[in-house]
Structures are given as C-alpha cells and as structure tokens.
Homo-oligomer: A and B are copies of this chain.
C-alpha cells in the first residue's frame, strides 16, 4: 500500500469538472445566505484538543482526528497513558464547536445579533462506507443572540430560498420542538430517565413503523403504561385536516398537556413564514444531537429516505465557552448529499476558447492568447493531435464553446473562431 497514489482512505480528489460543479453549487448557497443577511466567517481547521473533547460534540467527539504534539521524545511516548495525551490539537468534526469558540473569542467585535455562515470541510475518522466520507463540506448558518422565533424564521426562510435557487423544488422542511417531544413523553407516562432511550427508538419511526417502535420500546423495558399510551396515540385515527401548518394543526397532532409555550412558538414560526406546502409539522421528528433545547428542523425530499440537512435551537451551547447563557439557533445543509442532486450548467461556455496549434512560435502563441484573454475570454492552448474530433469532444465537455486553428500566418485579427459542441 506504500505505493498507492490514491488519496487517503475515505477522502477524495476533485478533478476540474467536479470541482467546478461543486464551486457553482457553493456560489449559489453563498449568494442566498448573503442575501438573507448572514456573514461568512472562517476558523482554523484545528482546535485545541481540550475544546474538541469538551462534551459539545456528542458521539462525534470520538471521531476527531488527533494531531500529534511536536518534538515528542521517546520518553513522552513511554509516559503517555493514552494516545490522547500525545495530541494537543485535533481536526474539527463539525462547525458548531469552532463557532462557539469563535463567538467566545470575538463577541465584542460582533453585532448584538450575529448571523454567521460557515462553509468549510470537517473531518471524522469514521469507518468509510458508501456515501460517507472522512473529509466533507458542511454549510452552516447560525443566529446567535436572538431569543425569539425571529431566528427560526430567518434560518428557515434563508434555507427554503436556497433550496429553490438550487432547483431542489419539492423539498419539505419538517419542524418540531424538543420541548413538545419531551412533553409528549411525560404525558404518555415515561419516567424522565427513560426519555433519551425512548427518543432513540422514536427516531426510527420512518424505518420501523409503529409496530416496530412499540416492540422496541417494550424490549427496552420502558414503563408499560407509557408504551401503551404511546401505542394508542400512534395508532389513533388520523385526519389530514390539520394541514396547513398552524396552531390548530399543531394542537390536533399532539396529545393534550404538552407545553403551551412551545405550541405557540411553533405556530408563530408558521404564521411568519406564511402557509406553504414546504413546511410540515412532524411531532415525531427527534434529531440526534443532545444539545437542542427548542425547535428542531430537517430537510426532506420525496426521492430520498435520508434528510438533506437539519438544525434547531441550542440555547445552552454557545455560552459554554463563555460562562454565560447565549441564545442560538442554526441550520445546516448537507452539502455532500445535495451537490449530486443539483445540476447547474456552466454559463460561460461561449467565452471559453481553445487554440489548436502545431508547435507555433512562442511569441505568436503568447500574442494570440493575450489578445483573447484581454477580450474577457478563457483560453486554453492545445497541441493539435492527429485526430481532432476526440479533442473537440473533450473540450466541449470541459465547457469550451469555441475553438480556432493557429496557422503560420494567424494573427489576433485574423483568428477564426468556430463554435464547439
């Protein structure tokens, strides 16, 4: 394996066509986020190991790549109790921990309500499998310092606009509130220390169906009355009349007795965003991360079983490095999942010209290229092969819209551009 020239396991090279495609998608995302008032920031790819392992990253903390301390001696290796002792830095596994650290460091220089964009790679030492990478790009927007539902309205509004700009029509955003989830579990009669486990099972409702969920809850040995109540609620006759998303619909979808404040909060978000088929209240949406404290949301597309992104309110977290409470909410687009669904054509083909020459003198080639570049064109020099057709096909595929042959007497004025493709 020492002679392999592949990128490291689970990581990818991007060739020109794919790199250009990814950048086009990112440009649309950046443009929409900027339009909605979010400002892009950047943090280093590494954070101090102690920050990455401070308990804010859930299971992802275990997946952090550790970076070796410098100038370690053999004695250091012998004295180490675990590998973690040898790493003072690590590669970030998400963009939320760095954002919390960034905000704690720069709060005084930032606006009172700070709307951030982070578009950057993260790393996880996962066992590579289909569709999962060890280096991948995350696109996060976050609003820090806004305690009202205005934050959720802006986050969801910006995300919906971005999905439309990417041509991903038909996406829905499922919304719920962790407080409603926990309230529902209390109403059913589960004990507080059962909640985490019940939520893990409930999260599989799409996959297991009601029967499967109820069976797993019983297997877990959960309070029988709670499981019975959950089963009764999940199998009750449902009507579609609770659509569109709004206060009445939310109340109908939930058992009586859940926190009133959370019901009104969700209803206010629906009112502000306007009735739309893109917004769905999903009382069984869970979201994995433990740090969510209020609303949670997830992007779904009818063609895919997995979500295309998600987020929520996490009021407790940003303040952790600051020692004070700071309200915050965020929404992340699953860039690696959506980039393959989006087709955005390069728009500048007409301006891209290939010059086919047969070893023409350097000054002539340089002058021809200079003249075309000065006209605002993109220019590639190509040595004319014996068979021209395959080259022209390759150029068209690379986004070139025109070509010209360079002959002995060709000057910038006499250059004859022919259309390609």
Contacts and interface: CB of A to CB of B under 8 A. Distances in A.
A241 interface: no
Q: How many copies does the complex hold?
A: 2
A182 interface: no
A5 B272 contact: no
Interface of A: 2, 4-8, 11-16, 19-20, 22-23, 34-37, 39-48, 50, 65-70, 72, 74, 76-78, 80-83, 86-87, 89, 91, 101-102, 104-106, 109-113, 115-116, 121, 123, 125, 135, 148-150, 153-154, 157, 161, 268-269, 271-274, 321-322, 361-363, 365-367, 369-370, 373, 376-383, 394, 398
B91 A83 contact: no
B5 A115 contact: no
A77 B67 contact: no
Contact of A41 (B19, B50, B370, B398): B19
A250 B366 CA distance: 21
Contact of A36 (B83, B379, B394): B379
A14 B366 CA distance: 39
13 contacts: A2-B50, A8-B44, A13-B42, A13-B105, A35-B376, A36-B378, A44-B135, A45-B121, A74-B81, A78-B78, A115-B380, A272-B361, A272-B366
B135 A373 contact: no
Contacts of A273: 366
Given A121-B45, A268-B362, A80 B77 contact: yes
What is the interface of chain A mostly: helix, strand, loop, or mixed?
Answer: mixed
Given A13-B105, A35-B376, 12 more contacts: A13-B102, A16-B39, A20-B40, A35-B379, A36-B378, A37-B381, A66-B68, A76-B83, A111-B394, A157-B366, A272-B363, A273-B366
A46 to B, nearest CB: 5
Contacts of A113: 381-383
Contacts of A83: 68-69, 72, 76-77, 86
A74 to B, nearest CB: 7
A195 to B, nearest CB: 30
Given A6-B105, A66-B67, A157 B369 contact: yes
A338 B109 CA distance: 25
Nearest to A355: B37
Nearest to A73: B83
Given A15-B41, A41-B13, A383 B112 contact: yes
A266 B175 CA distance: 66
A11 B377 CA distance: 37
A72 to B, nearest CB: 4
Given A37-B378, A150-B381, A362-B149, A13 B161 contact: no
A85 B391 CA distance: 47
A370 B123 CA distance: 35
A42 B66 contact: no
Given A36-B379, A39-B16, A362-B272, A7 B153 contact: no
Contact of A8 (B46, B370, B377, B381): B46
Contact of A272 (B34, B109, B365): B365
